Structure 1
Amino acid sequence: MSENKKNCLYIVIPCYNEEQVLPVTSGMFLDELNHLIKAGKISSGSRIMFVNDGSSDSTWDIITDLSKKDEHFIGISQSRNRGHQSSVLAGLMEASQYADITISIDCDGQDDIHAMEDMVDAYHDGCDIVYGVRNDRSTDTFFKRNTAKGFYKIMAKLGAETVYNHADYRLLSKRVINELAQFKETNLYLRGLIPLVGFKSTSVYYSRSERLAGKSHYPFSKMLNLALNGITSLSVKPLRLVMSLGIIVSIISFIGVIWAVVDNLLGNTVTGWASTVCIVCFMGGIQLMCLGVIGEYIGKIYIEVKNRPRFIISERTYECNEDKNQ
């Protein structure tokens, strides 16, 4: 295969306060990229694109230094911290201007970098989307492993199409990214949006290892927020469940009213305040829960109609390098 016919690959890597792990994993990414180039599977114009998500440490300085040392390293920086999903999308949209295929992967080195070769092979076999899927969750804590399983089961019950044990390690062709650009959601959940794009897809399985350095920037609160965002962004079934719950509670309440009337006609008196308090608290709790679910959807509508930008790129290493050479 001649050089001009080889596909250009951009590896998109979101980074937030990764000054400890970036010096370790950057060399691993470069080794894999060079391996793929030497194997003739991608062109020499392929690049590793770091996306700085408004880091408060020296992450951006490390990225700019890497870009000066090797042309295969490039970077873009968001104007402020906007979240992991926004950073992945920013990198994909930027890379789609230059690359035929992209692979998104986290910076921490937990995902098997060598699985990229299998992804590229699957692309050459005709797949536009290749999902990186974990073999198991043996490296997770008991709590995280079981909550993750529960989340995927809930998503399936709600009718949202997701890939089990897949995060954001995936290959996308240029035409998939071009179609993805037509999805204008501000509330991003890429794991659910990618399957909606369609096209031929497959999965590559790998074992996930421990984080190589630094601490995770995805605590339970962020994972919970991502899960809620995924559920409410991809499915309206929670609203239907609220309606069903309202109907059931109404039927029970109606039966209760009939019982109270009949009991009163028979001359019996309802004694005690406990039953009254329980009913009031139960009804109040149901109402508040229903209002919360409805409010979550209304809040998303409020954010969506503002049509704010999903990402803002403030700096690019290649612009900096061009300015320096002039």
Structure 2
Amino acid sequence: MNDTLYLVIPCYNEEAVLHETAKRLTKKITTMMENEIISTDSKILFVNDGSKDKTWNIIEELHNQNNIFSGINLSRNRGHQNALLAGLMTAKDLADVVISLDADLQDDVDVIDKFVEKYYEGSDIVYGVRSSRQTDTFFKRTTALAFYKLMNTLGVDMVYNHADYRLMSKQALESLSQFKEVNLFLRGMVPLIGYKHSIVEYERHERFAGESKYPLKKMLAFALDGITSLSIKPIRIITGLGFFIFVFSLIALLYSIIVKLFGETVTGWTSLTLSIWMIGGIQLLSLGVIGEYIGKMYNETKRRPRFIISEKLIDVMHLQNNRI
């Protein structure tokens, strides 16, 4: 079997690493073609997510030098998840199977063969899972573990230690295209598709060059998006907390009546102040969580496009052959 494979790589300001990424991926995909593991129509598809550096110029240069490279240029920066989806939906019409990975060479390209092997064994989705987190700082390792446990507690089905290094068959991509939400969290959406899946473990490397595109602020925003896009448990927690405070207030009311009847007087300044601050804080927090959901509903109802492709560098003949 030698199905057509597309490698989809979202890029944002990756000029420092892109030539090396192209070199390593070309070597890997060419070897797989020579060994007749994949079709000679297989490609490497770069997605430029509105980069401010020379990333798109490099993609154009690579495409002109070797037609194994394809590229799409988004009209503006739309974020990693939207850029990734743009690449997946473009590759869906061209390939039999697609593997998504980051441009920074942290994902081990040497295990791509194992992904394809699992696909030929019948898996429609193959998740790349980190074998360890020894290269991470203590803070990042601890917060990552807390994030996965929190998502699991809130009922979000996620693969532990999996980012966006995964293989998806055409069938799985067709199913993913039916998900129309604007607020994307692909790590939680892909498991909802179902189908047979498997796991390939790999060792995640340090960035070859450049800076991380996910500082702490973005990581926290990403986690919040994941929680509110895939779980309504925070709303239920607020409901439960509200019920608990209501019951507690009834008990406090009963206690006050009893104290009053027996003629005892208590100043209660400290308890009153603490109660006001506590309840006020809970109310503001509750409004914030509810507002987050309402905001997402607002974005969904507008049905704005998740991405706009301004330019494509794709082998036209190959595209025509796939449509016949």
TM-score by length of 1: 0.95
Say if 2:182 and 2:306, in contact at 8 Å, map to a contact too.
Answer: yes
Distance in 2 between residues matched to 1:212 and 1:235, nearest whole Å: 35
Match status 1:207 vs 2:212: no
Match status 1:187 vs 2:209: no
Which residue is equivalent to 1:22?
Answer: 18
Shift of 1:292: 1.0
Shift of 1:245: 0.7
Distance in 2 between residues matched to 1:320 and 1:19, nearest whole Å: 26
- The one of 9, 17, 25 aligned to 1:13: 9
Distance in 2 between residues matched to 1:147 and 1:279, nearest whole Å: 32
AA in 2 matched with 1:107: A
Which residue is equivalent to 1:171?
Answer: 167
SS at match of 2:30: helix
- The one of 221, 224, 227 aligned to 2:223: 227
AA in 1 matched with 2:11: C
Shift of 1:6: 2.1
AA in 1 matched with 2:150: I
CA RMSD of aligned residues (A): 1.4
SS at match of 2:3: coil
Shift of 1:31: 0.7
Match status 1:295 vs 2:291: yes
Distance in 2 between residues matched to 1:29 and 1:296, nearest whole Å: 40
Which residue is equivalent to 1:85?
Answer: 81
TM-score by length of 2: 0.96
SS at match of 2:70: strand
Say if 2:70 and 2:315, in contact at 8 Å, map to a contact too.
Answer: no
AA in 2 matched with 1:236: I
Distance in 2 between residues matched to 1:223 and 1:37, nearest whole Å: 37
Deviations 1:267-325 (A, max 9, x none): 1112152221111001101111111111111111010000111111001123899xxxx
Match status 1:137 vs 2:133: yes
- The one of 226, 234, 237 aligned to 1:238: 234
Which residue is equivalent to 1:313?
Answer: 309
Gaps (5+ residues) in structure 1?
322-326
Deviates more, 1:253-262 or 1:56-65: 253-262
Say if 2:48 and 2:74, in contact at 8 Å, map to a contact too.
Answer: yes
SS at match of 1:171: strand
Which residue is equivalent to 1:154?
Answer: 150
AA in 2 matched with 1:287: Q
Distance in 1 between residues matched to 2:303 and 2:268, nearest whole Å: 55
Residue pairs, 1:10-89, within 5 angstroms = 10-89=6-85
Which residue is equivalent to 1:120?
Answer: 116
Distance in 2 between residues matched to 1:166 and 1:247, nearest whole Å: 37
AA in 2 matched with 1:81: N
AA in 1 matched with 2:173: I
Change (3 A) 1:54 1:22: same
Distance in 1 between residues matched to 2:43 and 2:168, nearest whole Å: 15
Which residue is equivalent to 1:324?
Answer: none
Which residue is equivalent to 2:278?
Answer: 282
- The one of 69, 93, 102 aligned to 1:97: 93
Gaps (5+ residues) in structure 2?
318-324
SS at match of 1:66: helix
Shift of 1:139: 1.2
SS at match of 1:42: coil
SS at match of 2:46: strand
Match status 1:252 vs 2:248: yes
Say if 2:67 and 2:315, in contact at 8 Å, map to a contact too.
Answer: no
SS at match of 2:150: helix
Deviations 1:215-266 (A, max 9, x none): 1111111111111111111111111111001111111111111111211121
Change (3 A) 1:103 1:208: same
Which residue is equivalent to 2:194?
Answer: 198
Distance in 1 between residues matched to 2:235 and 2:69, nearest whole Å: 46
Distance in 2 between residues matched to 1:272 and 1:258, nearest whole Å: 15
Q: Count how many residue pairs are aligned between Structure 1 and Structure 2.
A: 318
Change (3 A) 1:199 1:320: closer
Distance in 2 between residues matched to 1:143 and 1:42, nearest whole Å: 40
AA in 1 matched with 2:264: N
SS at match of 2:159: coil
